[in-house]
Amino acid sequence: MSLAWVLTLGALLFSLGIYGVLARRNAVLVLMGIELMLNAVNVNLIAFDAWIRQGNATGQIFALFIITVAAAEVGVGLAIVLLVFRRRETINVDEVNLLKW
């Protein structure tokens, strides 16, 4: 299997994530779209790492950092979503519109 196939998978995942972010109105689903995008990055990094075959495995370490930071981000994000839900009884991003212009 060539590198191009894996990169295509990464690009498809990334596009799917962007579609999710743009099309979904529920904040939690938007968050899931962003997770897809981050996983696409991980796929890319691991594929390049296996292709480059350096001793210090930079790509794999990078992917580990992305996984941990993504977990922290989701934690913060869910906390904020929960807070918004308690105040507004909605997590639809179109209805969260007190601040304009």
Partner 1 sequence: MPAIDYHAVAPELILSGALIAVLCVDLFLPEKRKAWNSTLTALGVLGALGALFTLVGERRTTFGGMFVLDSFSLLFKFLFLAVAVVVVLMSADYLNDSLRSSQGEFYFLLLSSFLGAMLMASARDLLMLFVALEMVSVPAFLLAGFRKTDPRSTEAALKFFLIGVLSSAVMLFGMSLIYGVAQSTNLAEIGAALKARGDDPLVTASIMLILAGFGFKVSAVPFHFWAPDTYEGAPVPVAAFLSVASKAAGFAGLLQVAFLAFGGQTTAWGPGLAILSVATMTIGNVVALTQTNIVRLLAYSSIAHAGYMLMPLGVVAGQGAAIQRQAFAASLTYILVYSFMNLGAFAVVVAVGRKRPWNLISDYEGLSEREPGLALAMLFFLLSLAGIPPLAGFWAKFLVFGAAIDSGTAWLAAVMVLNSVVGLYYYLSVGAKMYLRPAEDPSPIGVPVPLVVAIAVALIVVVAVGVFPDFFNHFAPGATLIAL
Partner 2 sequence: MSGYFWQYGTIAALSIFGVAFVAVAFLFNRLMRPRKPHREKLTTYECGIDPVGEGWSQTQVRYYIFAFLFVIFDVESVFLFPWAVVFERSRNPGLVLAEMVVFIGVLAVGLLYAWRKKVLEWL
The residues of the shown chain that bind partner 2, judged by CB under 8 A, are: 1-3, 5-6, 50-51, 53, 61, 64, 67-68, 71-72, 74-75, 78, 82
Instruction: Give the pair of three-digit tokens for residue 97.
Output: 């519109």
59 and 52 Cβ atoms separated by less than 8 Å? yes
22 and 52 Cβ atoms separated by less than 8 Å? no
- SS3 label, residue 9: helix
How many Å apart are CA 81 and CA 9, to the nearest integer?
30
Which residues in 13-72 contact partner 1 (CB under 8 A)?
Answer: 14, 17, 21, 27, 30-31, 34, 37-38, 40-41, 44-45, 47-48, 51-52, 54, 58-59, 61-62, 65-66, 69, 72
26 DSSP β-pair partners? 92
Residues that bind partner 1 (CB under 8 A): 7, 10, 14, 17, 21, 27, 30-31, 34, 37-38, 40-41, 44-45, 47-48, 51-52, 54, 58-59, 61-62, 65-66, 69, 72-73, 76-77, 79-81, 83-84, 87-88, 93, 96-101
